[in-house]
Structure 1
Amino acid sequence: MNKAVPALLTVLLALGGCAATRPATPRAQSVAPTRTAAMNSQRDIVLAVDNPLDPPSTHAGSSLLGYAPAAHYGAGQRAVSLLASLRQRYGWHELTGWPIKALNVYCIVLEPPAGMSRDDLLKALASDHRVQLAQPLQDYSVYADKDAPQHHYNDPYADLQRGFVETQAALAHEATQGDGVRVAVVDTGVDLKHPDLQGRIGDTRDEVGDDAAAFDKDHHGTEVAGIIAAVGDNHKGIVGIAPKASLNVYKACWYQPADSGAHCNSFTLAKALAAVIDTDARIVNLSLGGPADPLLSRLLGQLLEQGRVVVAAMPPDGSLDGFPDAAPGVIVVRSSASTPAPTGVLSAPGNDILTTQPGGGYDFTSGSSMATAHVSGIAALLLSLSPKLDARTVHQLLLESSKPANGLLQVNAEAAVEALRKQQARR
């Protein structure tokens, strides 16, 4: 046998392993084409099958990559065969597919065959023992409406930052600025070139993949990122609640033509959450929401079991029965209001919030999405001081340290930090 063959096999196997790793450069990337624009939440189905990854086959006539075709990136041979058998049985049209390693499944988005309703196909799939999960593809929306302690910051708009001032973030910064804490922002894209976000953004992933150029032009994610971690003391714009925290950005939401709001779906959000599971991000910011979803609930459950602090926006209608707000352990946030908050829900500044905008600009925006970003920033301040804090303790500290501001009870960064330091001193 040629001595070069084992070495070649080792190199090829190593390259195959590298293909599944997450990108390490701060640039929008996509694992595989998702054809997001072709998906229809009124018609399509998310289906998952078991995906045990077999070792590469080495018998004569086989390749190191096995038999999985390019259309099923990351699928093992048995998953590919199973999907082919199911497709032949039901006649669906597959739009896209992607492996979810954390759940050991391969997921596809499919369109029911002509003449068959989604409900009828879902009913049939529910009774097929080969299917691990089958559910409607669902839509999600971001929650945003577009339209004074002393501090030392030289950023020219700092005094105009209602949330920064009311939460007394500058005083909290005397103890911590969020150093060493990574926050995962699952949202739209973010303006990676914005001068107030330079050095704050680490990994980025584009799980929508339809228009990479749109990543830097997306408003909602850029707004959330600025509230959490805009650079301080750079003589530019604003200051983030945790200006030395790092952000990982996962684009799972996109803007549709002639529509002012951003939308996501079950599939793009599942890809983003699965990617977060493989990182060391302690905080997950979900300034979005929609209906309950079995697949997303399983992934969210894994994040919570791993000890992540998941911060989510309360829906505009105040209901707490969907994703992600209904999951036990999630910290839910609403925009501060004069009416009492539901039990356990935090209130934070969310109206007329000045923050970063695409193209290097700044503007005011509103919504519980922005309130959520304030809480994620304060959580980063706390974790920077005490990295082993769990989500329950973070939630309790924020609830108990909330203070009145302009007649509204809301989270307070300085008070939360002080409460944590007193707690540490008692130990």
Structure 2
Amino acid sequence: MRAAVLLALLCLAVATAADVPPSPSRLALAPSSSAATPEQAMAERQLLLMLRAPPPHFRPDADYAGDYQTAPGRHARRRIARELAREHGLRLRDDWPMPALGLDCFVLEAVSGDARTRIVPRLAADPRVESVQPMQLFRLRGAGRLGAGDPLSAAQPAVARWHLRQLHTLATGRRVVVAALDTGVDVHHPDLHGQVAVTRDFVDGGATPAETHGTQVAGIIGARSDDGIGIAGVAPQARLLALRACWQSPGADGAAACSSFTLAKALQFALDADAQVLNLSLTGADDRLLARLLDAALQRGVTVVAAVDVDVDDGGFPAAHPGVLAVAGVHDHGARPGVLLAPDRGIPAPTPGGGWTLVSGPSYAAAQVSGLVALLRELSPRLRATQLRAALAPAPGLGLASRRPTLIDACAAVVRVAQRCACDCVAAPTASARPRR
């Protein structure tokens, strides 16, 4: 039966998405090369300058995060940024408030990458500067496309391995806010129509385009359920925020890129919107500004889920950042201790234009875990980070995450959180029920 469903899905993918470029498995930092794209060449000349902003005074008619024009001292800090740019031969390109950190962030551009390298330490020594760092460019690399209520759900690993249909009798992610920082989402796709509560474009501020990776990730997290078509999202009733922090490059390979600045803007928006789960299907080098924003999110009790780069010893950033739920695929044998393992091969997902395809990779494993976290947070809204991790990766007698990669048992996680079981259950002495092994 599963083979027949997979064959039908592949035929549907060819018929409806023949022109869709190969689907990426993760977002990764692109190394510098002599054949750099225009975006990469620009990023290599740019830096992020942070200036300290005073705490905003309460004003019932103003919102510091939403109305930057009324932010306290905004003009004074912009004047300082212009002075610093002039003193160091830089151009002021853009700026954005980061109230979660009490900062204003300015994008400055040098005449060359070498000039930027010389200027960064000089700016860091200036007493007017809170901090400064080079801009980093993240990229989306292709490696993943394989070509009763929801016809394709029988092919979903989460439906079979996680007993998703049974879990949905207890929770569907209702009222849980999940922010996906990715490329643009096709909000008109039949499986996503009405599912995305908020869309924002932090790349160019225009109308959000329908792009491949973002559409796939959003669908895996929150696609419509029991609508007679496509797949069922892991958390179909979650409040999904589609935050475009990355842009798909033209061409046949489906590559995409995002920068420290676009990701930081999206993270700040997610915090302002009271997101409870952040999905970051991306990986790259450590980034100071993004790390500080993640710390602010974690301090507020936000769950951050990130895809692991198994080619990097520590799993890459942000997966290796303390407090982040690092997710790899069950087939990633190089996963480090403490990593959560989720299905990562042959996952049905929507594609722009109304089609579906099969995708593979840690990006999609992370998206499934973000959906599962939404289910757990619906069942226990006050769930603390340590309790959540213990539910997903129990360590007997310790209540902490395992020191080895842990294969997620979704049914058991629900029992630990809710003391109820929706899967194939037997009586258990320590809980009202437990999943049958």
TM-score above 0.5, yes or no: yes
The aligned runs of 1:40-79 (5 Å cut-off) are: 40-52=42-54, 76-79=74-77
Equivalent pair of 1:187/1:250 in contact (CA under 8 Å)? yes
Amino acid at match of 2:419: K
Q: Distance in 2 between matches of 1:318 and 1:166?
A: 28
The answer for the alignment partner of 2:223 in structure 1 is 230
1:337 aligns with 2:331: yes
Equivalent pair of 1:185/1:225 in contact (CA under 8 Å)? yes
Query: How far apart are 1:322 and its partner, in Å?
Result: 4.1
**Cα shift readout 1:28-71 (whole Å, capped 9, x = no counterpart):** xxxxxxxx95972222111111233788xxxxxxxxx9xxxx99
RMSD over aligned CA atoms reads 3.0
Amino acid at match of 1:386: S
1:263 aligns with 2:257: yes
The answer for the alignment partner of 1:385 in structure 2 is 379
Amino acid at match of 2:414: V
Equivalent pair of 1:348/1:375 in contact (CA under 8 Å)? yes
The answer for the alignment partner of 1:190 in structure 2 is 185
The answer for the alignment partner of 2:419 in structure 1 is 422
The correspondence for 2:393, drawn from 392, 399, 420, is 399
Query: How far apart are 1:249 and its partner, in Å?
Result: 1.2
The aligned runs of 1:345-356 (5 Å cut-off) are: 345-356=339-350
Q: Structure 1 residues 53 and 377, CA, compared in 2 at 3 Å: closer, same or farther?
A: closer
SS in 1 for 2:127: coil
Query: How far apart are 1:318 and its partner, in Å?
Result: 4.0
Query: How far apart are 1:124 and its partner, in Å?
Result: 1.0
The answer for the alignment partner of 2:11 in structure 1 is none
The correspondence for 1:202, drawn from 180, 186, 197, is 197
Q: Distance in 2 between matches of 1:211 and 1:248?
A: 17
Give identity over the alignment, percent: 38
Q: Structure 1 residues 264 and 172, CA, compared in 2 at 3 Å: closer, same or farther?
A: same
Q: Structure 1 residues 81 and 94, CA, compared in 2 at 3 Å: closer, same or farther?
A: closer
SS in 1 for 2:328: strand
Query: How far apart are 1:98 and its partner, in Å?
Result: 1.4
The correspondence for 1:154, drawn from 142, 149, 161, is 149
The answer for the alignment partner of 1:369 in structure 2 is 363
**Cα shift readout 1:367-421 (whole Å, capped 9, x = no counterpart):** 10000011011111111111111222212211239xxxxxx97323222212323
The answer for the alignment partner of 1:283 in structure 2 is 277
1:175 aligns with 2:170: yes
Q: Distance in 2 between matches of 1:372 and 1:203?
A: 21
**Cα shift readout 1:214-272 (whole Å, capped 9, x = no counterpart):** x3421111111111111111111110111211201110011123352221110000100
1:274 aligns with 2:300: no
Q: Structure 1 residues 291 and 115, CA, compared in 2 at 3 Å: closer, same or farther?
A: closer
Q: Distance in 2 between matches of 1:115 and 1:182?
A: 39
Query: How far apart are 1:141 and its partner, in Å?
Result: 3.2
1:328 aligns with 2:328: no
The answer for the alignment partner of 2:10 in structure 1 is none
TM-score, normalised to structure 1, is 0.79
Q: Distance in 2 between matches of 1:114 and 1:361?
A: 43
Query: How far apart are 1:78 and its partner, in Å?
Result: 2.0
Q: Distance in 1 between matches of 2:367 and 2:388?
A: 15
Amino acid at match of 2:336: P
**Mean CA deviation greater in 185-194 or 202-211:** 202-211
Equivalent pair of 1:143/1:368 in contact (CA under 8 Å)? no
The correspondence for 1:248, drawn from 241, 244, 249, is 241
SS in 2 for 1:288: coil
Equivalent pair of 1:73/1:97 in contact (CA under 8 Å)? no
Q: Structure 1 residues 98 and 115, CA, compared in 2 at 3 Å: closer, same or farther?
A: closer
**Cα shift readout 1:268-308 (whole Å, capped 9, x = no counterpart):** 00100111111222111111121111111111100000000
The answer for the alignment partner of 1:80 in structure 2 is 78
Amino acid at match of 2:250: P
Q: Structure 1 residues 154 and 113, CA, compared in 2 at 3 Å: closer, same or farther?
A: closer
1:123 aligns with 2:121: yes
The answer for the alignment partner of 1:62 in structure 2 is none
Q: Distance in 1 between matches of 2:417 and 2:56?
A: 48
Q: Structure 1 residues 284 and 85, CA, compared in 2 at 3 Å: closer, same or farther?
A: same
Equivalent pair of 2:277/2:374 in contact (CA under 8 Å)? yes
Query: How far apart are 1:143 and its partner, in Å?
Result: 6.7
The correspondence for 2:353, drawn from 353, 359, 362, is 359
**Cα shift readout 1:332-351 (whole Å, capped 9, x = no counterpart):** 00011273742110001111
TM-score, normalised to structure 2, is 0.77
How many pairs align?
368
SS in 2 for 1:228: helix
Q: Structure 1 residues 51 and 205, CA, compared in 2 at 3 Å: closer, same or farther?
A: same
Q: Distance in 1 between matches of 2:52 and 2:291?
A: 18
**Cα shift readout 1:129-155 (whole Å, capped 9, x = no counterpart):** 1111111100223476232xxxxx421
The answer for the alignment partner of 2:427 in structure 1 is none
The answer for the alignment partner of 2:25 in structure 1 is none
Q: Distance in 2 between matches of 1:256 and 1:280?
A: 30
Equivalent pair of 1:54/1:77 in contact (CA under 8 Å)? no
